[in-house]
């Protein structure tokens, strides 16, 4: 076994709060503009019908993000790095990278478009220029991460997360939803192909492939130096002279806090639409929803909604770009200059904005693309974290592996059902 130390064992261990952060950054991925569009559309079209989807998605996300963080802490490698070493065939590795890269680009489409729409709503900035500004800000945040390290980047992203939570949740307190209807929405069911499409979209926005890739890398960067090739024991030390076992215990709290915030905000968005926007014309778009909120709840609530959307776009596109860089480096072992890579990944979103494609529809469709990338990230994650040779004594317990396999199966079946419904025109 390998024991890594960065401080003498006698050094005073840091407080638990110091160990929190990676999950809160990864959790921003669960509050991106794609979530807003999917949940807002679901509430406006189907009322409380899909409340159960948000709840189940968040429960699955907790397990998945913990497994991702554990992988990074124990191995000192990200999921893309491990897969880059395990997938032997060059073309197989390139094929896996291609699907992961497409998923990362779909993520960027949602996040950049969301930021552009928010800037348009708040300041009247044309959508194309709003996309450029959103991309530029995300670039600045990535420079902070690369130059100043993980902690300052976490502080900025967590601050934006707080703005997101306030911006999206206030409306629910001003116009609360109907309690019995919320409870009825916890019963799993569909009504038509459209509800299945939105379910896939919500899950694609909730259990996000790039968040799985990113969380393992964020935990590695914070706690485990690169280059570890063997699993470590529970008493081994990581950055700050903290034992792996203690980091993993703190990680459970980190993930619980992050997904608690993200799940509550996502549910608030759906409930806000379900309680106030059904039957209102134009609420299937972010602009229409903003206008309806302004008319029904007042301009102050609508402004907070737009501010939350802007913070969502800025924070989530930074995390998405971080994940994309990790995917390329880990799977292809290639480093591309930050500016070049950012320009390439920004291109699809800017093209969509330039040609005038419906921004909200693009957001919803991007989340469906994400849902199809979930199995490619989730299945390897469950397999690797169940292996003794990968995680040693920290490998999954049998029930954890069963739960992870169940989540993967559920998502694969849902996507297959969606394909069948679309193909048959049901």
Domains of the chain: 21-424 (1.20.1740.10)
pLDDT of residue 4: 43
pLDDT of residue 157: 86
Nearest-10 crossing angle of helices 127-148, 150-174: 140
pLDDT tens readout for residues 369-408: 777 788 899 999 999 999 999 999 999 999 999 999 998 8
pLDDT tens readout for residues 165-207: 999 899 999 889 999 999 999 999 989 888 888 888 788 667 8
pLDDT of residue 356: 86
> What does the pLDDT average to over 415-425?
69
pLDDT of residue 14: 59
Judged by average pLDDT, the poorest of 72-76, 250-254, 330-334 is 330-334
pLDDT of residue 9: 46
Q: How confident is the model at residue 17 (pLDDT cuts 50, 70, 90)?
A: low
Q: How confident is the model at residue 151 (pLDDT cuts 50, 70, 90)?
A: confident
Cβ count within 10 A of residue 163: 17
pLDDT of residue 423: 65
pLDDT of residue 16: 61
| CA pair distance 115, 109, nearest whole angstrom | 10
Give the C-alpha distances (Å, rounded to integers) separating 71 from 75, 112, 259, 384. 6, 29, 18, 8
Which pTM was predicted? 0.86
Closest to 201 measured CA to CA, from 72, 32, 318, 85: 32
pLDDT of residue 1: 42
> What does the pLDDT average to over 64-85?
94
Give the C-alpha distances (Å, rounded to integers) separating 262 from 10, 95, 101, 178, 257. 37, 32, 24, 21, 9
Q: How confident is the model at residue 209 (pLDDT cuts 50, 70, 90)?
A: confident
| CA pair distance 165, 261, nearest whole angstrom | 7
- Whether 5 has a pLDDT exceeding 60, the answer reads no
């Amino acid at each position: 076994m390998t024991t890594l130390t960065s401080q003498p064992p006698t050094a005073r261990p840091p407080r638990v709060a110091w160990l929190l952060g990676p999950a809160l950054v990864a959790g921003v991925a669960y509050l991106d503009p794609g979530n807003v569009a999917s949940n807002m559309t679901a509430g406006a079209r189907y009322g409380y019908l899909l409340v159960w989807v948000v709840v189940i998605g968040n429960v699955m996300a907790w397990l998945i993000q913990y497994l991702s963080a554990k992988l990074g802490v124990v191995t000192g490698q990200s999921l893309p790095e491990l897969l880059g070493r395990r997938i032997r065939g060059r073309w197989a590795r390139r094929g896996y990278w291609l699907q992961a890269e497409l998923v990362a680009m779909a993520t960027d489409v949602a996040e950049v478009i969301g930021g552009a729409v928010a800037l348009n709503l708040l300041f009247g900035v044309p959508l194309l220029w709003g996309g450029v500004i959103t991309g530029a800000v995300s670039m600045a945040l990535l420079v902070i991460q690369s130059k100043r390290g993980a902690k300052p980047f976490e502080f900025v992203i967590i601050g934006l997360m707080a703005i997101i939570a306030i911006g999206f949740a206030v409306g629910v307190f001003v116009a609360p939803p109907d309690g019995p209807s919320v409870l009825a929405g916890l019963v799993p069911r569909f009504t038509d192909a459209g509800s299945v499409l939105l379910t896939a979209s919500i899950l694609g926005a909730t259990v996000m492939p790039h968040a799985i890739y990113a969380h393992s890398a964020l935990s590695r960067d914070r706690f485990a130096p690169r280059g570890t090739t063997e699993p470590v024991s529970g008493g081994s030390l990581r950055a700050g002279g903290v034992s792996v076992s203690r980091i993993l215990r703190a990680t459970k709290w980190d993930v619980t806090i992050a997904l608690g915030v993200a799940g509550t905000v996502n549910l608030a968005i759906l409930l806000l639409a379900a309680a106030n926007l059904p039957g209102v014309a134009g609420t299937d778009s972010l602009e229409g929803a903003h206008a309806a909120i302004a008319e029904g709840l007042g301009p102050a609530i609508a402004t907070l909604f737009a501010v939350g959307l802007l913070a969502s776009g800025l924070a989530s596109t930074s995390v998405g770009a971080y994940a994309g860089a990790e995917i390329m480096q880990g799977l292809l072992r290639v480093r591309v200059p930050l500016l070049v890579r950012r320009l390439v990944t920004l291109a699809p979103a800017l093209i969509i904005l330039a040609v005038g494609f419906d921004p909200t529809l693009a957001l919803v469709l991007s989340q469906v693309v994400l849902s199809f990338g979930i199995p490619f990230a989730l299945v390897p994650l469950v397999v690797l974290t169940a292996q003794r040779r990968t995680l040693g004594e920290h490998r999954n317990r049998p029930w954890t592996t069963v739960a992870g396999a169940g989540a993967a199966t559920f998502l694969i079946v849902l996507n297959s059902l969606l394909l069948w419904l679309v193909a048959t025109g049901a």
